[in-house]
Each structure stands twice: as structure tokens, then as C-alpha cells.
Amino acid sequence: MALRKDFLWGGATAANQAEGGIFEAGRGLTNTDLLPAGPDRAAIGFGTLDNLQRDPKYFYPGEVAVDMYHHYMDDIELLAKMGLKTYRMSISWTRIFPNGDDPEPNEDGLKYYELIFKALKDRGIEPLVTLAHFDVPVALIKKYGGWRDRRMIDAYVNYAKTVLTRYRGLVKHWLTINEINILLHQPFVGGGLIFKAGDNVEKITYQAAHHQLVASALATKVAHEIDPDNLVGCMLAGGSHYPYSCRPKDYLEAILRDNGEYFFIDVQAWGYYPSYALKKFEREQITPIFEAGDEAILRENPVDFVSFSYYCSRTVSAYDEDYAEATGNLFKSIKNPNLPSTEWGWQIDPLGLRSSLNMLYNRYQKPLFIVENGLGAKDEVTPDGQINDDYRIDYTRQHIQAFKDAVEIDGVDLLGYTTWGIIDLISASTGQMSKRYGFIYVDRDDEGHGSLKRIPKKSYYWYKKVIASNGDEL
Ligand code: BGP
């Protein structure tokens, strides 16, 4: 079995890392607008450093990002010329509802995305839309403390209903919440949570998780009611756990750590809480409060497909030994001595993508979608204005080969592949521009200097051929 004929080749961005224009046309502030570049970013992202006011001492890279807000037509033109079949992007919640739950939506915000979706459709590009990509309106953090409060469910579902209704017929593929398991690792980024001394962090986080899971199921329900053709996916920060050694305890540790991350997807795909999670909650006395009807909402509204990001596998051990550390998207693990690393310490493991696809397909038996994958690396512009990013081509080629094998040899059902940061944008973990993922270069640096000019990289032309040959020409 080869890749589907209608395989969705594409690229991905997110509003908070690409758009900028955060004060334009009535937009309200969102949590990620408050993430500065520099050393405090991680603590703010975790929710231990309360930073609900923008502080002039910081540089906020998301304020302008790569200014897609103003460049979107030119950018879409570049994406179309690459031959993209799909473009993954997120709607900024606070462009639609500046305070998250205003009585009426902001027409300017609705119009903005309508123009984008129409421009994409006109060029034969299917939008793949994330409803919340690290996006919690600041007004709702102030009012409710973010997702710890159940009232977030109504605000989110009302927002979802508004955009699902408005973009009916324009958008068919939806993702409810980006990398939903990131809530455990960066609770402010994932859920707008800020902790005070004495807070039971785990209890609050899992209660917030429950609210997100119910909200996601309700959004799935609404999406299906509004248009039965809508396809809704959940979204996991993926990458399986490897045992550091073949000691049985290490293997068990890897399984348990996988469970810890897949918990969210288990609920969204199966429609119920897995037994290992219920046991953990009981043992640790952190069982989330369920309201009457929650179980039925989850059960009756599982997702249609499972999407995930894949950058690296993660290595773990049950033993407290002196291991070297590897970073990875927003959480750390042990450095795997068998794998090379990027300049940012993320380990490169194409075969791990095939393993993850197998694991997820076996576990869920639903179509899969790789909605993020890519290499964050420094690029150099040659004196004649070229970017020869062979390292990025190499990385992407190996990952594409891995998913082709998962489809062709292992029989995994894969809907598509969108590379992360199809156009350079700011890094979620560091706020840097210099950690570039794009096939399209953007002239902007870590301090916010640069013309914002776009230049297709060597990878741009390479990917164009890959798409045109449906993955045959790598
Ligand atoms: C994921 C996020 C993205 C993206 C990517 C790369 O966790 O969904 O928003 O940024 O990782 O991570 P980074 O930007 O930290 O290199």
C-alpha cells in the first residue's frame, strides 16, 4: 500500500508564533503574548512566575513574530507555489473574542480568517485549523485562573461554535487543542495556569485537563452537528519513550511514561478515562471532579483522527543514575547515546517516527496525521541571497522515508504530513528566531531586527518536488 492519492502534504504554523499584530483590529491579549525571550520564559511558561502584565523590561518576540498578520497574502502565494495540499494554522481566539467570552464576536477577526481560508481554497490548499494552539485569553486567566475553572468549557465551546459556523464549507479538518499533554509540562502555556505557594499542582493540572477534555469532546460534537463532513482530530506532543537499558524496570518505566502522555489521547480517542489514570488519581487523591453528563459527553464524542507532533523519541530510566540530559519539545529526557542531536539538544531519530506511528495506530485504530515535524537549525544567507539548508532536507527526507515505511510496510493509515514552521517563525520554547524550521526564510533576528523579507530556501524547491511526486522523489 502506497501513500494515499489524496495524501495531505503540507506545512504548519501557529498564530502566536507567526502572526504578530497582537494589537490590531481589536484583538485581545492571550497567554503566549506574555512570554518574553530570555531566561524567564521557562518559569513563566510553567506558571511559577506570575507575569500577567506586559513588562517593559522584556522583549516579547510574539508581538511582531514574522508579521504574517500583514504578509498573509504573499505568504499564501509562496505556499501555493510550493504545491502544498494543506496548510495547518491556528485561529487566534482573542481575534474572535478579545476577552475570550464577549457577548458578540469581533467581525474584523472573523473576516481576517475568512479571507485567509478563501485565499487558500482558491489555490487548492485545504486549511487544517487548530482551535487553540497555546492560546488562553488573558482576560479569562484573570477572571477564572485559566482552565482550572470549569467555566472555561463554555467560553471555549462558544468560540468553537462561532468559528465552526462561520467557516462551514471553507474548513473541514479541525484540531481541538494543540499538544494537549503539554499542559502537564508547561501549565501556563497549555492552560493559562499560574500556581501559588501551597497549591496542589497535580490536582489543579488534572482538573484543568478534565475541563479541556470535556471541552474538546463538546467541540467535536458541535463540529459534527454543524457539518457532518467535518473531521476533528486531537493533537499529542508525540515521541515514544525508550527504556535506557533492557533492565525490566526500565522497560516498565517507559510504558508508564508513555501512559502519562497518551492519557489525554486515550480519553479523546476511546471516549473514556483509562484504568491506569483512574488508579493514579485515586492513589494520589487527585481525581478530577466530574459533573453529571461528563462521562456521556466523552463517550459519545471521540475524535475522528489522531494527530501528533514528532521531533524526537524520549529515553527514560527507573534508576536514579548519572545520565546526560537531552531536551525536546518542552520536556526533558535522558540523552540517548545512539542518536545525534540538533544544536538545541533535541535528538534526531527518524526511525522513532515509524515506531510512534505503529504504536499510535495499534493503540487507537484511527487514521493518523503528522501535523508537526522539522529541524530547528541556524541558517546562513549567502552573499548572493541563498539559503542552502541541506541539513534540513536531509532531516526531512529521513522522516518522510520513515513514515512511508510505516504506511507501505506496516500498514498504518496516515492522512497527511505538515512540516513545522513551513515558514520561519519564533520558537515556542526559547522565543528565538534563530531556531529556524522553515522552507521559507524570514529576515528577522532574535532581537527583532530585520526587513521581514521572505526568501525560499533550497528545501523549498526540494519539498515542491516531493509533493509533486507524492513522496516518490526524495
Ligand atoms: C511544538 C509546538 C510548536 C513548535 C514546535 C517546535 O511543541 O506545538 O508550537 O514551536 O514544538 O518547538 P520550538 O519552537 O520550541 O523549537
Per-residue pLDDT reduced to its tens digit, 416-429:
999 999 999 999 99
CB atoms within 10 A of CB 128: 28
Q: Which of 429, 435, 437, 446 to mutate to test the pocket of ligand 1 (most atoms within 8 A of CB)?
A: 429
Q: How far is CA 154 from the centre of its chain?
A: 22
The answer to whether residues 21 and 109 touch, using CB atoms and an 8 Å cutoff, is: no
Per-residue pLDDT reduced to its tens digit, 341-375:
999 999 999 999 999 999 999 999 999 999 999 99
Quick one: which of 442, 433, 326 has its CA closest to 37? 433
In the structure, what pLDDT confidence band is assigned to residue 52 with cuts at 50, 70 and 90? confident
Q: String of b and e for 244-276 (b: at least 16 CB within 10 Å)?
A: beeeeebbebbeebbeebbbbbbbbbbbebeee
The reported pLDDT for the residue numbered 373 is 98
Ligand 1 centre distance from Cα of residue 162 (Å): 27
Quick one: which of 467, 459, 473, 474 has its CA closest to 386? 459
Ligand 1 centre distance from Cα of residue 329 (Å): 6
Weakest mean pLDDT among 233-242, 269-278, 320-329, 371-380 = 320-329
- Residue nearest (by alpha carbon) to ligand 1 atom 3: 428
The answer to whether residues 316 and 242 touch, using CB atoms and an 8 Å cutoff, is: yes
Unique residue bearing C-alpha cell 462561520: 166
Quick one: which of 76, 80, 78 has its CA closest to 116? 76
Ligand 1 centre distance from Cα of residue 227 (Å): 30
Per-residue pLDDT reduced to its tens digit, 449-474:
999 999 999 999 999 999 999 999 99
The reported pLDDT for the residue numbered 330 is 64
Element at 369 (helix H, strand E): strand 368-372
In the structure, what pLDDT confidence band is assigned to residue 110 with cuts at 50, 70 and 90? very high
Positions of E strands within 21-159: 86-90, 126-132
Nearest 5°: the CA angle 262, 164, 270 is 25
- Residue nearest (by alpha carbon) to ligand 1 atom 15: 429
Positions of E strands within 178-249: 231-237, 241-243
* Residues whose beta carbon lies within 6 Å of some atom of ligand 1: 14, 17, 178-179, 237, 309, 329-330, 372, 376, 420, 427-429, 435
Ligand 1 centre distance from Cα of residue 437 (Å): 10
| pLDDT score of 185 more than 90 | yes
Q: Is 55 helix (H, G, I), strand (E, B) or coil?
A: coil
Atom of ligand 1 nearest to the CA of 344: 16
Atom of ligand 1 nearest to the CA of 376: 16
- Residue nearest (by alpha carbon) to ligand 1 atom 4: 428
| Residues with catalytic function | 179, 372
Ligand 1 centre distance from Cα of residue 297 (Å): 30
In the structure, what pLDDT confidence band is assigned to residue 292 with cuts at 50, 70 and 90? very high
Q: What cell was used for 180?
A: 494537549
The reported pLDDT for the residue numbered 311 is 97
How many residues are there in the chain? 474
Quick one: which of 170, 268, 288 has its CA closest to 219? 268
Per-residue pLDDT reduced to its tens digit, 211-238:
999 999 999 999 999 999 999 999 999 9
Element at 114 (helix H, strand E): helix 107-122
Q: How far is CA 146 from the centre of its chain?
A: 19
| pLDDT score of 270 more than 70 | yes
Element at 337 (helix H, strand E): none
Ligand 1 centre distance from Cα of residue 467 (Å): 23
Atom of ligand 1 nearest to the CA of 426: 14
Q: Which of 32, 41, 309, 348 to mutate to test the pocket of ligand 1 (most atoms within 8 A of CB)?
A: 309
Q: Is the dihedral of CA 358, 359, 365, 368 positive or negative?
A: negative
